[in-house]
Chain A
Amino acid sequence: MTARALLVLTLGTLPAQAETPAVPRFEAFIGGPEHSFTGEWQYMVGGGVAAFDCSGDGRPELFMAGGTTPASLWRNDSTPGKLAFTPLDRAETALDGVTGAWPLDIDSDGITDLAVLRVGENHLLRGLGDCRFEPANALWGFDGGDAWSTAFAATWEAGSAFPTLAIGNYIDRAEEAFPWGSCTDNWLHRGTATGFAPPLALTPSYCSLSMLFTDWNRSGRPSLRVSNDREYYKGGQEQLWHLDPGASPRLYTPDEGWQRLRIWGMGIAGSDLDGDGYPEFYLTSMADNKLQVLAQPGPEALPRYRDDAFPRGAHAQRPYTGGDVRPSTAWHPEFADVNNDGRADLFVAKGNVSAMPDFAADDPNNLLLQRADGTFYEAGAEAGVASMKVARGGAVTDLDGDGWLDLVVVNRNAPVEIWRNTGTGAPGTWIALRPEQPAPNRDAVNGWVEVRTEGKTQRQEITVGGGHGGGQLGPRHFGLGTASEAEVRVIWPDGTAGDWMTLTAGQVWRLPRDAPPSR
C-alpha cells in the first residue's frame, strides 16, 4: 500500500442501524425431556422435531427424531408459566433411524397424523386420538421406499382427497467411501381419492435437505422449492418445481426467470416480511445464509430473488459470542414473532456438521429480532438461547399457552434443549388463529392467514414442510404489539378470501370456513 487515502470497511456499516427491539428473556427448562439425536455418518443431517397437539388440550406435543436412538413422543402437560412433559411409551412411535417428522392431517379426519422420515423405510402414522397412532403405509398405499430421507413437504392438489407428498433423499448410503455425486432420487407421492399413487422420481435430484410447497407468486397453485446440499451433488443447484394438475412435475427454467444458486442448502423458512403479499424465503447454509426477496413482486412475477441477508443483518455468518471466529453452520430456520411486537423474527439453529475444522465448533443459535425498518438485531445471547451445543432441528411454539413463543432445539449427540419465553417485560399482545375447512385439507394448507392492526397487515402462508427435519401444525401465532383486538381473515387454498372479522387479542381462535370463529 502507498500513502493513498484509506477507507475502513467494517462489518455492520451496511445494515441500517435502528432501534433495538424488545428482547424476550428465555428461561432454560431444567428437567425437561431427555432425548438426543444420535449417530454418526447417516445422522450428520436431520434431527428435527414435530410440534402438534395430539392430546386435544390445545398444547403442542413433541415428537423428536432420534437417529440411532428411538424417536420419542412427549405429552405436553404445561400450564401458563410452567413447562411439563411426560414421555409417552408408544411402540408405534418409538421408531429407530428417524431423521425427521412433520405433522399433518393426511386423511382429513380431524386428527393429526405424522409423516416420519427415516434412514430406511419412511412411515406414515395415522392419528387415532389421545396421542395414539397406527402404521398406515399399507392402508393408504404409501410406498415408504428405502433411502436416506431428509426433506419433506405436503400440499393438496385441487380435487384430490389425499395430499401430495414430496420427500427429499440424500446420499446413496452404499457409497460411504466416495459419496460425492451419488445423490439419490427425490420422490413425489401424489394424492388420490383413497391414498397415494406410486412415487414419481423428481429427477434431477441433488441431495435435498429441505423442501417447501409454497404459493410464492400467489397464483393459487403452489410450487415446490427444494434446497440442496452442494457438498454432495454434481451439476446441481437450488430448484423450483411446477406442480400443474394432471401434468408431470417440471422444473422452472432460466427462461422462466429461475436463477442458478448453489449453496449448502439445509433449511427453508418463508414469511411475508415486507407486507407486499409475497413470501420472502430464508435459506440456511454454511458461512452465509440467504434472505431471498422477490425482485419484482406482482401477479406476473418471475422467480427472481435478490439476497437481502447482509444488508438487513440476517446473514448469521459467524458466531456472535463465544470467541470462535470461524464461519457458522446453519440448519433449522423459522420465522416467528417471539417478542409480540407485530414483526416476524427469525430463529436459526446452528452447529458444526461433524468436526469440520473450517467451521465454528462453538456455534450459538441465532435469535434475530426484526426491527421496524426490516433489519434484524441479534439477540441470542441477551435472550439466553445462545447454546453452543450442536443443533439441528427446532420449533418456535407456545408450549405453555401464555402467548409467548417458546423454543425447542434438537441437538446432535447432545440433549434436547427447551426454553420458556418469559416475555420482554413490556406489553405484547397476541392472537393465534387456526383455520379449518371441510375435508379434504382440513387445515387449509397453502391458504393464508391475514391479521390487520392499525393499518398494517401481517400475513402467514399455512405450509407443511421446510425447516430442517421437522415442522409444526397448529394455530398461527401473530404478535399484535399493544393492540387489544385485530381484524383477521383467511384466504382459503382455493383462493376464496374470507370476510374480515374483528377478534379479541390474547386468545386462540378457531376459524371454521363456514361458521363463526370460536375459542
Chain B
Amino acid sequence: MRFLIYMSDYIIPFLFLYIVAFGLLMKTNVFDDFLQGAKDGFKVVFDILPTLIGLMVAIGILRASGTLNIISDILRPLTDLLHFPSQLVPVAIIKLFSSSAATSLVLDIFKEYGPDSYLGRLVSVMMSSTETIFYTLAVYFMAAGVKKTRYTLLGCLLTTLTGIIVSVIMTNLVF
C-alpha cells in the first residue's frame, strides 16, 4: 500500500501539468486565466473567515476547559468496542450538521496530536470522504419545497458510514 503515498505525491503536479499543457494546446491565455481565478479564491477565503473565527474560539474554549477530553472519556468504552478512536467521534457527529464546526474540531486534533499522527491522518482522510448531511438536505429540499424526503436520509447516512469505515481501513493499511 506504500504506492498510495507515492501516488499522492503525483496527483497535484500531474493535474497542473495536464491542465496547463491542455490550455497551451488550446491557445488560451493560461496565466491571465490563472490570475482571474486566483482572485475568486481570495473572496472564498474572506467569506469564511468570520465563521472560522467564531467556531475556532468556541472549540478553543471547549478544549481549554477540558470539555472535549470529558466527552471522549465518556465515549471511550463504546468506541473501543468499535475500534474507532473516541477523540474523533465529535468530529464525525458534528460533520453531519456543520462543515465549518467540524473543521474547527479537525484543527484542534491537528494541534493536539499533530497532522502526521495516526489521529491526524485518519481525520484528514475522513474529512475528504464525508459531507454535511443535514445542512445540505435542508438547503436543497427547501429550494424544491419538498416535505417528504423518502429514502434520501437513509442513503446519505449509508454513504457517510461507508466513507468513515473505509477511511479507518485505508489509514491502517497505508500508513
- Asked whether A and B interact, the reply is no
Binding site for A on B (CB under 8 A): none
